[in-house]
Structure 1
């Protein structure tokens, strides 16, 4: 039986580029993969045929020979091209190799593109540090020193993991590739090398200080600049201040998460501050001046209009919080809480009763409310 043209097998034209051939190959390989064609007894042989065609056409020299001589380029001792239909152990090995190749081609990029290559020295882990600051510190900004328990580079071996700083040697199990392959029937399974854990290198004489890890546990003191305007949830990244990498690998990063503690006087909403200020019934009724604190430690004089009610707000412009790395400040809002007097003396009670008897239209809100209540009751009776 004569062989089909390799370009026809892939569904590609003769002048197709390497990228076009690869795209056509992937499409056919997915379409004819035996796992997707359990009901098609020809799928396995067609799958092998596709792999045979691509094995030739993806190689520039073999492709040139095929374009000139066709299948004859690999017959009669001219090239030793792949044989798709071989039986026995050789046929299984060919199929296993083909399956491994198509698996790598189809999923290699998704899995990280490390086909056949060893891993680099492992990067250190990122660290998280929760830092609490007061509202005053968030207002002004502050320089803080924090102690971070972390892994640092071993000073005895300079991070190499080998005694005396000696260089690691190539792993004999994987020959420095970091991975080993095992063929099981139709499948070739690739695993991380158990001897070197994927690094491709081993240490003959591990460092006694760090036991070959290249890093040791230690607490570090770091100076951190907390900018003005930070809020709860603000994240500050310190590059390279995380855990040291394994065997000389790059360090991770340190992420500082800021929490601003609640304040006894001020309540924060973004760049705005709110302050609830109690005032006496007399001041609220007659009006007057009061002093209120500001977050910068100063004082502001506020004029209370006569007849002020609880919940009334007044704005102090520019007395709020600064924006994080932004110019200007927010505003501060004063909310009045009119306080009812307690522990009255007999004389005070007499004066209040006298005031109540003389009151006419002094309580517009209550007058309006009870008028509405009366109208409601009247409507219910009707």
Structure 2
């Protein structure tokens, strides 16, 4: 441990003096990952820098030790008599974070997400309740399984129990704020050392798709409703609402319902409504005649535009 007063702990973590607890945690996690010896095998300075990062966080996150350091006192002697916490080696990075943040270990299988999970520490020491886990999943194929999650489970992360075709049992935690369609790669767990994938499905019975804090919904309309505009009833997580569809709405147009998504801490997502025009099947003779007339009108309009351009 460095001699007290010889190192600027704020500078070690890349912070301005007096940064809040949330910024301190984020900076510590970033610097610890950057300098962890297991992740920097070719850097001879990583071990000492990692120890400095650990020391800086230990002092700045403890009000008493931080006060002693700021006063220039010998906090090293007052805390653990200068013992080196890494004298017997360096733990796995995730286990190391679990121990520092006093959180329950979340992994017995590592995954690589094909989406970048959003992660942010809660303000202060507030820990949201963990939703109940979904029932055990039996792999539908040797290399991929589909896992259904509720919006709450996807938002907070949940423990998944997976049984592979060869009887191997795996436990894995999904990332917080996961979304519908995410694929998580479980490296080397399938027979022969192959990867197994978890595809997350986060949907409600009324057709809402969840992606982080945002909610997606596909609204089917007739061509006439899209052309002329209408009012449609749209489901949301808080119940159905009426949405005004502007005239001239084509397939693919997105309409936003603000603050109708999921909430996490002080953030609230939106709901996006995608317009999809659907042509009815089994047209009556009258409907077919109307569509043919519309087609003729469109051709006449396009022809008039072409003549105007050529003049």
Q: Greater Rg, structure 1 or structure 2?
A: 1
TM-score range relative to shorter protein: 0.3 to 0.5
Q: Which has the higher contact order (CA 8 A, sep 6+)?
A: 1
How does the TM-score come out when normalised to structure 1? 0.34
Q: Which TM-score applies when normalising by structure 2?
A: 0.39
